[in-house]
Structure 1
Protein backbone atom coordinates (compact mmCIF):
# COMPACT_ATOMS: atom_id res chain seq x y z
CA UNK A 1 0.00 0.00 0.00
CA UNK A 2 1.44 3.35 -1.06
CA UNK A 3 1.85 5.72 1.90
CA UNK A 4 2.29 9.46 2.40
CA UNK A 5 5.12 10.43 4.75
CA UNK A 6 4.28 13.32 7.07
CA UNK A 7 5.50 14.40 10.50
CA UNK A 8 7.18 11.10 11.26
CA UNK A 9 4.33 8.81 10.21
CA UNK A 10 3.49 6.89 7.05
CA UNK A 11 -0.18 7.30 6.14
CA UNK A 12 -1.54 4.58 3.79
CA UNK A 13 -3.22 6.44 0.94
CA UNK A 14 -6.29 4.21 0.89
CA UNK A 15 -7.78 3.84 4.34
CA UNK A 16 -11.00 2.52 5.81
CA UNK A 17 -13.63 4.90 7.22
CA UNK A 18 -16.05 3.85 9.97
CA UNK A 19 -18.49 6.78 10.16
CA UNK A 20 -22.09 5.68 10.85
CA UNK A 21 -20.98 2.23 11.94
CA UNK A 22 -21.89 2.36 15.65
CA UNK A 23 -21.86 -0.53 18.07
CA UNK A 24 -21.00 -4.18 17.76
CA UNK A 25 -21.85 -4.51 14.08
CA UNK A 26 -18.75 -2.50 13.32
CA UNK A 27 -16.36 -5.15 14.61
CA UNK A 28 -16.98 -7.76 11.93
CA UNK A 29 -16.88 -5.07 9.23
CA UNK A 30 -13.47 -3.83 10.35
CA UNK A 31 -12.22 -7.40 10.76
CA UNK A 32 -13.15 -8.00 7.13
CA UNK A 33 -11.32 -4.85 6.02
CA UNK A 34 -8.18 -5.87 7.89
CA UNK A 35 -8.32 -9.37 6.38
CA UNK A 36 -8.47 -7.84 2.90
CA UNK A 37 -5.38 -5.73 3.53
CA UNK A 38 -6.51 -2.34 4.83
CA UNK A 39 -3.92 -0.98 7.25
CA UNK A 40 -5.29 2.54 7.83
CA UNK A 41 -8.39 2.61 10.03
CA UNK A 42 -10.20 5.88 10.72
CA UNK A 43 -12.56 6.30 13.68
CA UNK A 44 -13.60 9.03 16.15
CA UNK A 45 -15.05 9.33 19.63
CA UNK A 46 -18.26 10.67 18.07
CA UNK A 47 -18.71 7.53 15.95
CA UNK A 48 -19.34 5.48 19.11
CA UNK A 49 -17.45 2.52 17.69
CA UNK A 50 -13.94 2.79 19.13
CA UNK A 51 -14.48 -0.32 21.27
CA UNK A 52 -15.60 -2.30 18.22
CA UNK A 53 -12.64 -1.05 16.19
CA UNK A 54 -10.30 -1.99 19.02
CA UNK A 55 -11.84 -5.45 19.26
CA UNK A 56 -11.39 -5.94 15.51
CA UNK A 57 -7.75 -4.92 15.73
CA UNK A 58 -7.18 -7.33 18.62
CA UNK A 59 -8.92 -10.15 16.75
CA UNK A 60 -6.86 -9.54 13.60
CA UNK A 61 -3.65 -10.72 15.22
CA UNK A 62 -1.77 -7.94 13.43
CA UNK A 63 1.12 -6.32 15.25
CA UNK A 64 0.27 -2.80 16.39
CA UNK A 65 3.09 -1.30 14.33
CA UNK A 66 1.56 -2.76 11.16
CA UNK A 67 -1.49 -0.52 11.53
CA UNK A 68 -2.16 3.19 11.17
CA UNK A 69 -4.95 4.17 13.55
CA UNK A 70 -6.67 7.58 13.44
CA UNK A 71 -9.19 8.83 15.96
CA UNK A 72 -10.61 12.27 16.68
CA UNK A 73 -11.74 14.44 19.57
CA UNK A 74 -15.23 15.96 19.34
CA UNK A 75 -15.57 19.75 19.20
CA UNK A 76 -17.26 19.86 22.62
CA UNK A 77 -14.10 18.47 24.28
CA UNK A 78 -11.45 20.97 23.19
CA UNK A 79 -10.80 22.57 26.59
CA UNK A 80 -7.38 21.18 27.68
CA UNK A 81 -8.59 18.99 30.55
CA UNK A 82 -11.53 17.68 28.49
CA UNK A 83 -9.12 16.97 25.67
CA UNK A 84 -6.88 14.94 27.95
CA UNK A 85 -9.86 12.97 29.24
CA UNK A 86 -11.10 12.36 25.69
CA UNK A 87 -7.75 10.95 24.58
CA UNK A 88 -7.59 8.71 27.65
CA UNK A 89 -11.07 7.39 26.93
CA UNK A 90 -10.22 6.72 23.27
CA UNK A 91 -7.03 4.86 24.18
CA UNK A 92 -8.96 2.70 26.66
CA UNK A 93 -11.80 1.92 24.25
CA UNK A 94 -9.43 1.11 21.40
CA UNK A 95 -7.26 -0.99 23.71
CA UNK A 96 -4.01 0.55 22.46
CA UNK A 97 -1.07 2.38 24.04
CA UNK A 98 -0.87 5.09 21.39
CA UNK A 99 -2.77 6.68 18.51
CA UNK A 100 -0.95 7.16 15.20
CA UNK A 101 -2.93 10.28 14.31
CA UNK A 102 -5.08 12.23 16.76
CA UNK A 103 -7.25 14.91 15.20
CA UNK A 104 -9.54 17.79 16.13
CA UNK A 105 -12.76 16.54 14.53
CA UNK A 106 -14.41 19.95 14.08
CA UNK A 107 -13.30 23.41 15.15
CA UNK A 108 -15.29 25.08 17.92
CA UNK A 109 -16.23 28.74 17.73
CA UNK A 110 -15.16 29.35 21.33
CA UNK A 111 -12.04 27.18 21.38
CA UNK A 112 -8.65 28.55 22.43
CA UNK A 113 -6.75 27.21 19.43
CA UNK A 114 -3.37 27.88 21.01
CA UNK A 115 -4.31 25.93 24.14
CA UNK A 116 -5.73 23.08 22.04
CA UNK A 117 -2.53 22.74 20.05
CA UNK A 118 -0.33 23.04 23.13
CA UNK A 119 -2.28 20.22 24.77
CA UNK A 120 -2.08 18.04 21.66
CA UNK A 121 1.65 18.63 21.37
CA UNK A 122 1.88 17.42 24.97
CA UNK A 123 0.46 14.11 23.74
CA UNK A 124 3.27 13.93 21.20
CA UNK A 125 5.82 14.48 23.93
CA UNK A 126 4.43 11.80 26.25
CA UNK A 127 4.13 9.23 23.46
CA UNK A 128 0.39 8.64 23.59
CA UNK A 129 0.07 10.16 20.11
CA UNK A 130 2.49 9.84 17.18
CA UNK A 131 1.12 12.75 15.14
CA UNK A 132 -1.63 15.36 15.29
CA UNK A 133 -3.99 16.81 12.72
CA UNK A 134 -7.19 18.73 12.18
CA UNK A 135 -10.43 18.17 10.29
CA UNK A 136 -12.90 20.61 8.76
CA UNK A 137 -10.80 23.75 9.23
CA UNK A 138 -11.01 26.53 6.66
CA UNK A 139 -7.83 27.99 5.20
CA UNK A 140 -7.77 30.89 7.68
CA UNK A 141 -7.95 28.51 10.65
CA UNK A 142 -5.34 26.24 9.11
CA UNK A 143 -3.00 29.15 8.43
CA UNK A 144 -3.28 30.29 12.06
CA UNK A 145 -2.65 26.77 13.33
CA UNK A 146 0.42 26.20 11.18
CA UNK A 147 1.97 29.64 10.69
CA UNK A 148 1.10 31.52 13.88
CA UNK A 149 0.94 28.73 16.44
CA UNK A 150 3.50 26.54 14.72
CA UNK A 151 1.69 23.26 15.36
CA UNK A 152 3.18 20.24 13.53
CA UNK A 153 0.03 19.32 11.61
CA UNK A 154 0.45 15.94 9.91
CA UNK A 155 -2.64 16.16 7.71
CA UNK A 156 -5.99 17.85 7.22
CA UNK A 157 -9.14 15.77 6.77
CA UNK A 158 -12.01 17.36 4.84
CA UNK A 159 -14.86 16.46 2.52
CA UNK A 160 -13.46 16.06 -0.97
CA UNK A 161 -14.86 14.28 -4.02
CA UNK A 162 -15.60 14.78 -7.72
CA UNK A 163 -18.49 17.14 -6.93
CA UNK A 164 -16.65 19.52 -4.58
CA UNK A 165 -13.80 21.84 -5.51
CA UNK A 166 -11.04 21.96 -2.92
CA UNK A 167 -8.36 23.55 -5.10
CA UNK A 168 -7.78 26.49 -2.73
CA UNK A 169 -7.26 24.16 0.21
CA UNK A 170 -5.13 21.75 -1.81
CA UNK A 171 -2.91 24.58 -2.99
CA UNK A 172 -2.26 25.72 0.57
CA UNK A 173 -1.65 22.20 1.89
CA UNK A 174 0.77 21.39 -0.93
CA UNK A 175 2.63 24.62 -0.26
CA UNK A 176 3.12 23.39 3.32
CA UNK A 177 3.77 19.75 2.39
CA UNK A 178 0.73 18.53 4.31
CA UNK A 179 -1.47 15.70 2.96
CA UNK A 180 -5.22 16.08 2.47
CA UNK A 181 -7.32 13.15 3.69
CA UNK A 182 -10.59 12.97 1.76
CA UNK A 183 -13.65 11.88 3.70
CA UNK A 184 -16.90 11.13 1.88
CA UNK A 185 -14.78 10.42 -1.23
CA UNK A 186 -17.78 8.78 -2.90
CA UNK A 187 -20.03 11.75 -2.09
CA UNK A 188 -22.01 9.57 0.34
CA UNK A 189 -22.83 7.08 -2.41
CA UNK A 190 -23.77 9.61 -5.08
CA UNK A 191 -20.69 8.89 -7.19
CA UNK A 192 -21.90 5.36 -7.93
CA UNK A 193 -25.00 6.59 -9.75
CA UNK A 194 -23.52 9.55 -11.64
CA UNK A 195 -23.95 9.06 -15.42
CA UNK A 196 -20.60 10.65 -16.32
CA UNK A 197 -18.69 8.44 -13.90
CA UNK A 198 -20.69 5.42 -15.06
CA UNK A 199 -19.71 6.14 -18.67
CA UNK A 200 -16.02 6.31 -17.73
CA UNK A 201 -16.43 3.12 -15.71
CA UNK A 202 -17.89 1.19 -18.65
CA UNK A 203 -14.93 2.25 -20.79
CA UNK A 204 -12.46 0.83 -18.30
CA UNK A 205 -14.50 -2.17 -17.19
CA UNK A 206 -14.71 -0.96 -13.60
CA UNK A 207 -17.32 0.67 -11.35
CA UNK A 208 -18.23 4.35 -11.09
CA UNK A 209 -17.14 4.31 -7.43
CA UNK A 210 -13.73 3.02 -8.46
CA UNK A 211 -13.44 5.85 -10.98
CA UNK A 212 -14.22 8.42 -8.26
CA UNK A 213 -11.58 6.94 -5.96
CA UNK A 214 -9.01 6.66 -8.75
CA UNK A 215 -9.49 10.37 -9.54
CA UNK A 216 -8.62 11.25 -5.95
CA UNK A 217 -5.76 8.79 -5.62
CA UNK A 218 -3.96 10.08 -8.69
CA UNK A 219 -3.70 13.53 -7.10
CA UNK A 220 -0.50 14.47 -5.34
CA UNK A 221 -0.71 14.41 -1.55
CA UNK A 222 -4.27 13.06 -1.31
CA UNK A 223 -5.39 10.06 0.77
CA UNK A 224 -8.94 8.65 0.89
CA UNK A 225 -10.96 6.85 3.57
CA UNK A 226 -14.06 5.36 1.91
CA UNK A 227 -16.56 3.52 4.08
CA UNK A 228 -17.87 0.13 2.96
CA UNK A 229 -19.82 -2.37 5.04
CA UNK A 230 -20.04 -5.13 2.42
CA UNK A 231 -16.88 -7.15 1.84
CA UNK A 232 -17.33 -6.92 -1.94
CA UNK A 233 -17.37 -3.13 -1.73
CA UNK A 234 -14.32 -3.11 0.54
CA UNK A 235 -12.45 -5.20 -2.02
CA UNK A 236 -13.70 -3.06 -4.91
CA UNK A 237 -12.42 0.09 -3.21
CA UNK A 238 -9.01 -1.48 -2.72
CA UNK A 239 -8.91 -2.39 -6.40
CA UNK A 240 -9.51 1.24 -7.37
CA UNK A 241 -5.76 1.68 -6.95
CA UNK A 242 -5.26 -0.15 -10.25
CA UNK A 243 -7.63 2.06 -12.28
CA UNK A 244 -5.78 4.38 -14.68
CA UNK A 245 -7.72 7.38 -15.97
CA UNK A 246 -6.85 9.14 -19.22
CA UNK A 247 -7.08 12.79 -20.19
CA UNK A 248 -10.57 12.39 -21.65
CA UNK A 249 -11.74 10.94 -18.34
CA UNK A 250 -10.20 13.79 -16.37
CA UNK A 251 -11.76 16.36 -18.69
CA UNK A 252 -15.20 14.78 -18.26
CA UNK A 253 -14.80 14.82 -14.47
CA UNK A 254 -13.53 18.40 -14.52
CA UNK A 255 -16.81 19.70 -15.94
CA UNK A 256 -18.98 18.00 -13.30
CA UNK A 257 -20.56 20.46 -10.83
CA UNK A 258 -18.00 21.24 -8.12
CA UNK A 259 -20.16 23.08 -5.58
CA UNK A 260 -21.88 20.16 -3.80
CA UNK A 261 -20.99 19.93 -0.13
CA UNK A 262 -22.90 17.19 1.66
CA UNK A 263 -21.45 17.56 5.18
CA UNK A 264 -22.06 20.98 6.73
CA UNK A 265 -23.59 20.81 10.22
CA UNK A 266 -24.77 23.95 12.07
CA UNK A 267 -21.45 24.22 13.93
CA UNK A 268 -19.35 24.10 10.73
CA UNK A 269 -16.99 27.02 10.06
CA UNK A 270 -17.34 29.49 7.20
CA UNK A 271 -15.91 27.28 4.51
CA UNK A 272 -14.57 29.98 2.22
CA UNK A 273 -12.77 31.99 4.93
Structure 2
Protein backbone atom coordinates (compact mmCIF):
# COMPACT_ATOMS: atom_id res chain seq x y z
CA UNK A 1 0.00 0.00 0.00
CA UNK A 2 1.06 3.55 -0.66
CA UNK A 3 0.84 5.02 2.84
CA UNK A 4 1.75 8.49 1.56
CA UNK A 5 -1.28 8.38 -0.73
CA UNK A 6 -3.56 7.17 2.08
CA UNK A 7 -2.33 9.92 4.40
CA UNK A 8 -3.64 12.49 1.92
CA UNK A 9 -7.06 11.69 3.42
CA UNK A 10 -5.97 13.23 6.75
CA UNK A 11 -8.05 16.34 7.31
CA UNK A 12 -10.89 15.23 5.04
CA UNK A 13 -14.23 16.17 6.61
CA UNK A 14 -17.84 15.01 6.46
CA UNK A 15 -20.97 16.67 7.89
CA UNK A 16 -24.42 15.17 8.50
CA UNK A 17 -27.58 16.01 10.46
CA UNK A 18 -30.47 13.96 11.81
CA UNK A 19 -33.38 14.54 14.17
CA UNK A 20 -33.70 12.02 17.00
CA UNK A 21 -37.14 10.55 16.44
CA UNK A 22 -39.36 8.80 18.96
CA UNK A 23 -39.38 5.79 16.61
CA UNK A 24 -35.58 5.47 16.62
CA UNK A 25 -35.51 5.65 20.42
CA UNK A 26 -38.24 3.00 20.63
CA UNK A 27 -36.27 0.68 18.34
CA UNK A 28 -33.00 1.27 20.21
CA UNK A 29 -34.66 0.73 23.61
CA UNK A 30 -36.34 -2.46 22.38
CA UNK A 31 -33.01 -3.78 21.10
CA UNK A 32 -31.43 -3.41 24.56
CA UNK A 33 -34.56 -4.22 26.61
CA UNK A 34 -34.56 -0.73 28.12
CA UNK A 35 -37.62 0.56 29.97
CA UNK A 36 -37.62 4.30 29.22
CA UNK A 37 -40.07 7.13 28.68
CA UNK A 38 -40.28 7.77 24.94
CA UNK A 39 -41.73 11.25 24.63
CA UNK A 40 -40.60 14.60 23.17
CA UNK A 41 -37.72 16.25 25.06
CA UNK A 42 -36.97 13.17 27.16
CA UNK A 43 -33.25 12.25 27.41
CA UNK A 44 -32.06 9.60 24.97
CA UNK A 45 -30.34 6.32 25.96
CA UNK A 46 -26.56 6.30 26.11
CA UNK A 47 -24.72 5.48 22.86
CA UNK A 48 -27.73 6.03 20.61
CA UNK A 49 -25.58 8.55 18.73
CA UNK A 50 -24.04 5.59 16.85
CA UNK A 51 -27.44 5.13 15.20
CA UNK A 52 -27.54 8.68 13.85
CA UNK A 53 -26.47 10.00 10.44
CA UNK A 54 -25.56 6.60 9.04
CA UNK A 55 -24.79 6.88 5.32
CA UNK A 56 -27.63 5.46 3.23
CA UNK A 57 -25.30 3.93 0.66
CA UNK A 58 -26.93 2.21 -2.31
CA UNK A 59 -26.45 -1.55 -2.61
CA UNK A 60 -24.34 -1.06 -5.74
CA UNK A 61 -21.86 0.93 -3.65
CA UNK A 62 -21.25 -1.81 -1.08
CA UNK A 63 -18.11 -3.91 -1.07
CA UNK A 64 -17.92 -7.68 -0.77
CA UNK A 65 -18.03 -7.48 3.04
CA UNK A 66 -21.15 -5.30 3.07
CA UNK A 67 -19.31 -2.11 4.03
CA UNK A 68 -19.49 0.95 1.75
CA UNK A 69 -16.69 0.98 -0.82
CA UNK A 70 -13.69 3.01 0.29
CA UNK A 71 -12.13 6.10 -1.21
CA UNK A 72 -14.72 8.78 -0.49
CA UNK A 73 -14.60 9.86 3.15
CA UNK A 74 -12.53 6.90 4.39
CA UNK A 75 -9.23 6.29 2.57
CA UNK A 76 -9.06 3.48 -0.03
CA UNK A 77 -7.19 0.98 2.16
CA UNK A 78 -6.67 -2.19 0.13
CA UNK A 79 -6.57 -4.60 3.10
CA UNK A 80 -9.85 -6.53 2.98
CA UNK A 81 -10.91 -7.01 6.61
CA UNK A 82 -12.14 -4.06 8.67
CA UNK A 83 -13.06 -3.79 12.35
CA UNK A 84 -13.78 -1.10 14.89
CA UNK A 85 -10.72 -1.44 17.12
CA UNK A 86 -11.70 1.00 19.86
CA UNK A 87 -12.31 4.60 20.72
CA UNK A 88 -13.18 7.15 23.37
CA UNK A 89 -16.39 9.10 23.97
CA UNK A 90 -16.74 12.29 26.02
CA UNK A 91 -20.28 13.22 27.05
CA UNK A 92 -20.65 17.00 27.14
CA UNK A 93 -24.43 17.34 27.52
CA UNK A 94 -27.50 15.09 27.18
CA UNK A 95 -29.28 14.64 23.87
CA UNK A 96 -33.08 14.69 23.86
CA UNK A 97 -35.81 13.24 21.70
CA UNK A 98 -36.59 15.75 18.98
CA UNK A 99 -33.09 17.27 18.91
CA UNK A 100 -31.56 18.00 15.52
CA UNK A 101 -28.06 16.58 15.94
CA UNK A 102 -25.20 17.67 13.72
CA UNK A 103 -22.16 15.43 13.31
CA UNK A 104 -18.87 16.75 11.95
CA UNK A 105 -16.31 14.05 11.22
CA UNK A 106 -12.65 14.40 10.28
CA UNK A 107 -9.93 11.91 9.35
CA UNK A 108 -7.38 12.58 12.09
CA UNK A 109 -4.64 10.08 11.24
CA UNK A 110 -3.68 7.13 9.00
CA UNK A 111 -0.82 4.84 10.05
CA UNK A 112 0.65 1.45 9.16
CA UNK A 113 1.95 -1.18 11.58
CA UNK A 114 3.17 -4.76 11.32
CA UNK A 115 1.44 -7.32 13.53
CA UNK A 116 1.79 -11.08 14.00
CA UNK A 117 -0.75 -11.64 11.24
CA UNK A 118 0.78 -9.15 8.81
CA UNK A 119 0.23 -5.52 7.87
CA UNK A 120 -2.31 -3.41 9.75
CA UNK A 121 -3.65 -0.01 8.72
CA UNK A 122 -5.14 2.21 11.42
CA UNK A 123 -7.49 5.06 10.57
CA UNK A 124 -8.43 7.49 13.33
CA UNK A 125 -11.65 9.46 12.91
CA UNK A 126 -12.66 12.40 15.14
CA UNK A 127 -16.39 13.05 15.53
CA UNK A 128 -18.04 16.11 17.07
CA UNK A 129 -21.79 16.03 17.77
CA UNK A 130 -23.70 19.22 18.55
CA UNK A 131 -27.26 20.49 19.06
CA UNK A 132 -28.02 24.13 18.22
CA UNK A 133 -24.28 24.74 18.03
CA UNK A 134 -23.64 23.38 21.53
CA UNK A 135 -21.36 20.32 21.90
CA UNK A 136 -23.06 17.19 23.23
CA UNK A 137 -20.53 14.43 22.40
CA UNK A 138 -16.94 14.33 21.19
CA UNK A 139 -15.46 11.05 20.07
CA UNK A 140 -12.37 9.33 18.73
CA UNK A 141 -12.97 6.26 16.59
CA UNK A 142 -10.15 3.80 15.78
CA UNK A 143 -10.65 1.63 12.69
CA UNK A 144 -8.19 -1.14 11.78
CA UNK A 145 -7.83 -2.87 8.41
CA UNK A 146 -6.24 -6.33 8.20
CA UNK A 147 -5.25 -8.83 5.53
CA UNK A 148 -7.05 -12.07 4.75
CA UNK A 149 -7.48 -14.31 7.75
CA UNK A 150 -4.72 -16.94 8.01
CA UNK A 151 -4.48 -20.16 9.99
CA UNK A 152 -3.37 -19.58 13.56
CA UNK A 153 -0.39 -21.61 14.63
CA UNK A 154 -0.19 -23.59 17.84
CA UNK A 155 0.56 -21.63 20.94
CA UNK A 156 -0.48 -20.95 24.48
CA UNK A 157 -4.25 -20.70 24.85
CA UNK A 158 -5.34 -17.27 26.11
CA UNK A 159 -6.17 -17.13 29.79
CA UNK A 160 -9.91 -17.06 30.56
CA UNK A 161 -11.13 -13.69 31.77
CA UNK A 162 -11.77 -13.17 35.45
CA UNK A 163 -15.27 -12.38 36.67
CA UNK A 164 -15.79 -8.84 37.89
CA UNK A 165 -17.21 -7.65 41.19
CA UNK A 166 -20.29 -6.88 39.11
CA UNK A 167 -21.29 -9.01 36.15
CA UNK A 168 -24.22 -9.78 33.86
CA UNK A 169 -24.64 -12.61 31.36
CA UNK A 170 -25.77 -11.75 27.82
CA UNK A 171 -27.26 -14.11 25.22
CA UNK A 172 -25.94 -13.09 21.76
CA UNK A 173 -28.71 -14.75 19.77
CA UNK A 174 -29.01 -13.76 16.08
CA UNK A 175 -32.15 -11.55 16.48
CA UNK A 176 -30.18 -9.35 18.91
CA UNK A 177 -27.33 -8.98 16.41
CA UNK A 178 -29.75 -8.41 13.53
CA UNK A 179 -31.62 -5.68 15.40
CA UNK A 180 -28.41 -3.86 16.25
CA UNK A 181 -27.24 -4.09 12.64
CA UNK A 182 -30.62 -2.70 11.56
CA UNK A 183 -30.79 0.18 14.03
CA UNK A 184 -27.25 1.25 13.07
CA UNK A 185 -27.78 0.56 9.33
CA UNK A 186 -24.71 -1.70 9.40
CA UNK A 187 -24.52 -4.18 6.52
CA UNK A 188 -21.23 -5.84 7.54
CA UNK A 189 -21.89 -9.49 6.75
CA UNK A 190 -19.99 -10.98 9.70
CA UNK A 191 -22.93 -10.01 11.95
CA UNK A 192 -25.76 -11.79 10.07
CA UNK A 193 -24.34 -13.99 7.26
CA UNK A 194 -23.07 -17.14 8.97
CA UNK A 195 -21.61 -18.73 5.83
CA UNK A 196 -19.66 -15.56 5.03
CA UNK A 197 -18.45 -15.15 8.64
CA UNK A 198 -17.18 -18.75 8.77
CA UNK A 199 -16.03 -19.48 5.22
CA UNK A 200 -14.65 -16.09 4.16
CA UNK A 201 -13.49 -14.39 7.34
CA UNK A 202 -12.77 -17.58 9.31
CA UNK A 203 -14.80 -16.92 12.45
CA UNK A 204 -16.51 -19.63 14.49
CA UNK A 205 -19.89 -17.94 14.18
CA UNK A 206 -21.63 -14.61 13.80
CA UNK A 207 -19.63 -11.76 15.35
CA UNK A 208 -21.02 -9.63 18.17
CA UNK A 209 -20.48 -6.01 17.11
CA UNK A 210 -17.77 -4.09 18.91
CA UNK A 211 -20.06 -1.04 19.29
CA UNK A 212 -22.81 -3.28 20.69
CA UNK A 213 -20.41 -4.53 23.37
CA UNK A 214 -19.27 -0.97 24.07
CA UNK A 215 -22.89 0.16 24.39
CA UNK A 216 -23.65 -2.58 26.91
CA UNK A 217 -20.55 -1.69 28.95
CA UNK A 218 -21.26 2.05 28.95
CA UNK A 219 -24.89 1.54 29.92
CA UNK A 220 -23.81 -0.90 32.65
CA UNK A 221 -21.33 1.63 34.02
CA UNK A 222 -24.01 4.34 34.13
CA UNK A 223 -26.46 1.99 35.87
CA UNK A 224 -23.90 0.96 38.50
CA UNK A 225 -22.74 4.51 39.17
CA UNK A 226 -26.16 6.10 38.90
CA UNK A 227 -25.16 8.72 36.33
CA UNK A 228 -23.67 9.16 32.86
CA UNK A 229 -19.86 8.97 32.84
CA UNK A 230 -17.95 11.99 31.67
CA UNK A 231 -15.65 9.83 29.57
CA UNK A 232 -15.89 6.27 28.28
CA UNK A 233 -13.06 4.56 26.39
CA UNK A 234 -12.80 1.03 25.02
CA UNK A 235 -10.51 -1.29 23.07
CA UNK A 236 -11.31 -4.57 21.27
CA UNK A 237 -8.93 -7.44 21.97
CA UNK A 238 -10.68 -10.60 20.73
CA UNK A 239 -13.90 -11.53 18.94
CA UNK A 240 -17.10 -12.75 20.56
CA UNK A 241 -19.42 -14.96 18.51
CA UNK A 242 -23.00 -16.14 18.85
CA UNK A 243 -21.79 -19.67 19.67
CA UNK A 244 -21.92 -19.10 23.44
CA UNK A 245 -23.13 -16.51 25.94
CA UNK A 246 -20.85 -13.69 27.02
CA UNK A 247 -20.48 -11.69 30.22
CA UNK A 248 -20.14 -7.97 30.85
CA UNK A 249 -18.02 -7.26 33.92
CA UNK A 250 -17.15 -4.24 36.06
CA UNK A 251 -15.09 -3.40 39.11
CA UNK A 252 -14.21 -0.24 40.96
CA UNK A 253 -11.14 1.64 39.77
CA UNK A 254 -9.55 4.98 40.60
CA UNK A 255 -11.88 7.68 39.33
CA UNK A 256 -14.51 5.29 38.04
CA UNK A 257 -15.00 1.75 36.80
CA UNK A 258 -12.94 -0.77 34.86
CA UNK A 259 -15.07 -2.90 32.57
CA UNK A 260 -14.63 -5.83 30.20
CA UNK A 261 -16.51 -8.41 28.15
CA UNK A 262 -15.66 -12.06 27.64
CA UNK A 263 -17.27 -15.09 26.07
CA UNK A 264 -18.05 -17.65 28.76
CA UNK A 265 -14.76 -19.46 29.37
CA UNK A 266 -12.91 -17.16 26.96
CA UNK A 267 -10.36 -14.34 27.22
CA UNK A 268 -11.11 -10.64 27.61
CA UNK A 269 -12.75 -9.53 24.37
CA UNK A 270 -13.18 -5.82 25.05
CA UNK A 271 -11.77 -3.73 27.86
CA UNK A 272 -13.12 -0.32 28.83
CA UNK A 273 -12.91 2.47 31.38
CA UNK A 274 -15.61 4.84 32.57
CA UNK A 275 -14.72 7.94 34.56
CA UNK A 276 -16.74 10.70 36.16
Q: TM > 0.5 between the two?
A: no
Higher strand share: 2
TM-score by length of 1: 0.24
TM-score (norm 2): 0.23
